Amino acid sequence: MGQKTSSGFSNTTSFQPLRPLPSLRILVDKINLEHSVPMYAEQLVQTVSSLSQPSDNLLHYCYA
């Protein structure tokens, strides 16, 4: 009588140490975006297609 029995639950909360969240910081002075369109697209494609081994740069501008 007069004795309290523990029910297995505790009112104290145990806190786990928090890890810092990952973050990303990007610092830039300026951003330069360029968009180029060939003036003579059809002629460029025909000319590059006739070459036996066109350079990667020429092929890039054919598909741009």
Asked whether residue 16 is domain-assigned, the answer is no
Over the stretch 2-41, which tens digit does the pLDDT of each residue have? 555 555 555 566 777 788 888 899 899 999 888 877 677 7
Asked if the structure places residue 43 within a domain, the reply is yes
Q: Is residue 62 part of a domain?
A: yes
The verdict on residue 30 lying in a domain is no
Tokens found for residue 63: 């598909």
pTM recorded for the entire structure = 0.34
Structural domain of 60:
36-64
Residue 27 in domain: no
Answer whether residue 51 shows pLDDT above 80: yes
In a domain, 56, yes or no: yes
Residue 52, pLDDT > 70, answer: yes
Question: What is the pLDDT at residue 29?
Answer: 94
More confident residue, 42 or 29: 29
Q: How many domains is the chain built from? A: 1
Q: What are phi and psi of 9, to 5 degrees?
A: -100, 145
